[in-house]
Amino acid sequence: MIYIYSYKSQKIYIISQNLELIDTLEIGDGLKNIPPEKWGSSVQFVLQRELGELFLYNSDKPEQGFYRISDTGLERLEYGQAKYKNKFILANGNFYDLYKERVISNNNDEVKQMVLNTDGNYYFTTSKDLSDPKKKVDEKNIYLTKINKKSLPAYIEELNEKNN
């Protein structure tokens, strides 16, 4: 399925691969009337891959909340649900904790590409050898680092402490 957000109509259109309209969803009040920037809207789709759930949110003001797109429509995310414990969304270089309703910024300039995969593992690339922090950064080398699902909450807590 293809999901299209329209600023003008304030709706999400769900379209099949054959370009047939499947459904139209009204967006949540928290996302209405957000004016588009010069190059597009700050209202974005983001996928929580581990759960396979698609969300819509305002990337400029994530405090307005996440809206889960489901078969029945658009539902504002209710934080604190058991299924969201230790579940995160990675978007715009930030971790969004779906259980505790908080944003943890990844301010590390050495981290370049990041992804949370369907297994809940976090991968990122960097030019710094994290196994040897004293080693000089060599921009010619790129290292792929994996933080496994079980270690991810502790890693995010450490990021949060560094940011505060």
Give the highest mean pLDDT range of 73-82, 102-111, 136-145: 73-82
Cβ atoms of 130 and 144 closer than 8 Å = no
How confident is the model at residue 93, as a pLDDT? 82
Three-state DSSP state, 137: coil
Three-state DSSP state, 38: coil
Q: Which two tokens stand for residue 15?
A: 């379209």
Which is nearest to 113 in space by CA: 122, 104, 102?
122
Which is nearest to 15 in space by CA: 7, 6, 51, 31?
6
How confident is the model at residue 136, as a pLDDT? 77
**Calpha distance 19→86 (Å, rounded):** 37
Give the single-character DSSP code of 13.
E
Cβ atoms of 152 and 121 closer than 8 Å = yes
Which is nearest to 46 in space by CA: 22, 62, 35?
62
Task: Band the pLDDT of 53: cuts 50, 70, 90.
Answer: very high
For the chain, percent helix, then strand, then coil, each to nearest 5?
15, 40, 45
Cβ atoms of 38 and 75 closer than 8 Å = no
User: Of the given ranges (42-46, 101-105, 136-140, 148-152), which has the lowest mean pLDDT?
Assistant: 136-140
Average pLDDT, stretch 44-68? 88
Q: Which two tokens stand for residue 136?
A: 């000089």
